[in-house]
Structure 1
């Protein structure tokens, strides 16, 4: 494989110089798309700031080794572009090779530095914004949440596969909302290839959404309770098979996060399995708490979590008053997703990384389906959209 280590000899500014073409591609894309869609300058300004985020993360806020898997995607990307790894080999390889193949298909000339793939992800972040904007999915609340949510900005500004996971999930949900479930199978399949866990969470939920016509009628309170009861019974029934696998993943994640294998608390019974899922799901959404933070980054995460929880509570409050039947569906979606990951994820940073796609999906589509445009007496007076059409 071509030696890429020479780039580190160019120094801080040298590495950023080599990434100027990637940065400029992102900037030009935002300006052209913003002009074509008549996006207000304030939104474009935030997107342009996001274009520069890769320059400010690795080597500035974080060391280059903070996300070691980013190096794997970078190396495999260059192996594919350099012809050392064929498309077939990448496609039939592991999740790292497939994610690198996705990166290699993007309209960027090269990824010379470890920062480069961050610009690829920034491009995806902006492209998804314009796509959602054009489809009138945003409300004032969800739009500004998308633009200002720190975890979303952070993980879409680094060279990780997480942005692909996030984009595929959003595409699948929106196309399912539009009734084009056959089209939604494409991003779901691409999601399965790099993050099968999210596929098995999102796929069944969207199947229910389509089969039961939830986009039209929503879910009644009785049905929601019935679903929860059935889910609890199902978990109890499958626990003899599921518990060993859950405990295996709990142990692996605990050790990967630096814990001692002997300190892992294994789940021992069906009742504990169900109860742990509910409790850990809530904790997964909120952790770390302020008193659990042991460094400045965790303290920032804790503060962000408090604000996000407050925002979610306000959104749910308004949505419950307006379209409770549709809110029920998205609450079930969150309960399932958070419970699954809550059982196996211990590290605070990993929790933030795995959590943000589900939080963004919840905010985007609860606001869209339940018409949550404001949650205080003060409205977004500057919000103006011509030709606004509802896509539900």
Structure 2
């Protein structure tokens, strides 16, 4: 993945003094802004992109222990965190995705604890590293805090109302949003090596709404096995099928246990997948952008709905407990 060399070069430029830390952070270039976070980490200067990948592995391990100590994990989410192949891959590379995941999960975790100031502090780096995720996670964190979802849930009625408001907003914003979405579709397609003449633009309001409502599920599942064009994509396609099965089982269990809390996280997943589904075409890019949202969904659905197993056991389902017990 050639993008790794950009981050490696950025970290080395900052460490060598060729580029100032403040200059890099204020440059407006997301690669350099992400590189500043790597540059201040207390590790030797990386001699290769592989070396810089260990920085992300360190972040991944620290995030695990943070969630462990805060008792966010259940048995299901803990094993998913450790065994999710895409997460194992991308947290070992010298890319910004692990930083994004780290700050996104901490933002939600602090919102869950009603520590809104700390949550906001964790949101700020996301704005500089990847502003799209800031505008996705920001409203989610705000609603999570306002409705106190972890304790009270959102309620199916409120979730339905918010969904309807979102659809109306989609219709109302179409004249302004449609040109911007098409612009991003072309930009992402060209960035992934495509010819701008081959891109199919969204033709009108009805097409915009239809693709907005359907692109999310496709983005969550692609590439499908028959769409794979490389060995990695072929492996990822089977990973997708397995992950979709796990998501279905987790969602079914959550629906049985706490539909009010589940409703919020379903809105989160649908919202995030639909936005990226409208503009991302490359299969590898889709996997790379998708996995943080899948991880967040699994971790916090399991935590909020107390999902400790993928399949219910009628003899013990009334006695299931989180993986960690309180000291009270």
TM-score band by shorter chain is: over 0.9
Alignment of 1:82 onto 2:19: no
Q: Tell me the equivalent position of 2:257.
A: 322
User: Counterparts of 1:386 and 1:346 in 2: how far apart (Å)?
Assistant: 39
Q: Tell me the equivalent position of 2:325.
A: 388
Alignment of 1:348 onto 2:286: no
Relative contact order (C-alpha < 8 Å, sep 6+): which is higher? 2
Alignment of 1:227 onto 2:150: no
User: Counterparts of 1:127 and 1:351 in 2: how far apart (Å)?
Assistant: 26
Q: Tell me the equivalent position of 1:214.
A: 149
Q: Tell me the equivalent position of 2:236.
A: 301
User: Counterparts of 2:40 and 2:257 in 1: how far apart (Å)?
Assistant: 43
Counterpart mapping for 1:41-60 below 5 A: none
Q: Structure 1, residues 196-221: CA drift from partner, whole Å, max 9, x if none?
A: 00000000111111123323221222
Cα distance, 1:258 vs structure 2: 2.4
Cα distance, 1:165 vs structure 2: 0.4
User: Counterparts of 1:135 and 1:181 in 2: how far apart (Å)?
Assistant: 16
User: Counterparts of 2:322 and 2:247 in 1: how far apart (Å)?
Assistant: 24
Cα distance, 1:385 vs structure 2: 8.7
- The 8 Å contact of residues 306 and 322 in structure 2, kept in 1 or not, is answered as no
Cα distance, 1:105 vs structure 2: 1.1
Q: Tell me the equivalent position of 1:33.
A: none
Q: Tell me the equivalent position of 1:158.
A: 93
- The 8 Å contact of residues 76 and 100 in structure 1, kept in 2 or not, is answered as yes
Q: Tell me the equivalent position of 1:292.
A: 227
Cα distance, 1:279 vs structure 2: 0.9
Q: Secondary structure of 1:340's partner?
A: helix
User: Counterparts of 2:205 and 2:146 in 1: how far apart (Å)?
Assistant: 30
User: Counterparts of 2:31 and 2:323 in 1: how far apart (Å)?
Assistant: 42
Cα distance, 1:375 vs structure 2: 2.0
The one of 305, 320, 327 equivalent to 1:370 is 305
Listed as ranges, the gaps of 5+ residues in structure 2 are none
Counterpart mapping for 1:1-392 below 5 A: 67-93=1-27, 94-376=29-311, 388-389=325-326
Cα distance, 1:377 vs structure 2: 5.1
Q: Secondary structure of 2:49's partner?
A: coil
**TM-score under structure 2 normalisation?**
0.94
User: Counterparts of 1:389 and 1:263 in 2: how far apart (Å)?
Assistant: 57
- The 8 Å contact of residues 121 and 159 in structure 1, kept in 2 or not, is answered as yes
- The 8 Å contact of residues 235 and 270 in structure 1, kept in 2 or not, is answered as no
CA gap 1:360/1:109 in 2 versus in 1, 3 angstroms: same
Number of matched pairs? 321
Larger Rg: 1
Q: Tell me the equivalent position of 1:29.
A: none
Cα distance, 1:384 vs structure 2: 11
Q: Secondary structure of 2:263's partner?
A: helix
Q: Secondary structure of 2:310's partner?
A: coil
CA gap 1:134/1:293 in 2 versus in 1, 3 angstroms: same
- The 8 Å contact of residues 24 and 33 in structure 2, kept in 1 or not, is answered as yes
Listed as ranges, the gaps of 5+ residues in structure 1 are 1-66
Q: Structure 1, residues 182-241: CA drift from partner, whole Å, max 9, x if none?
A: 101111001101100000000011111112332322122222121111101101111111
User: Counterparts of 1:234 and 1:387 in 2: how far apart (Å)?
Assistant: 41
Q: Secondary structure of 1:303's partner?
A: helix
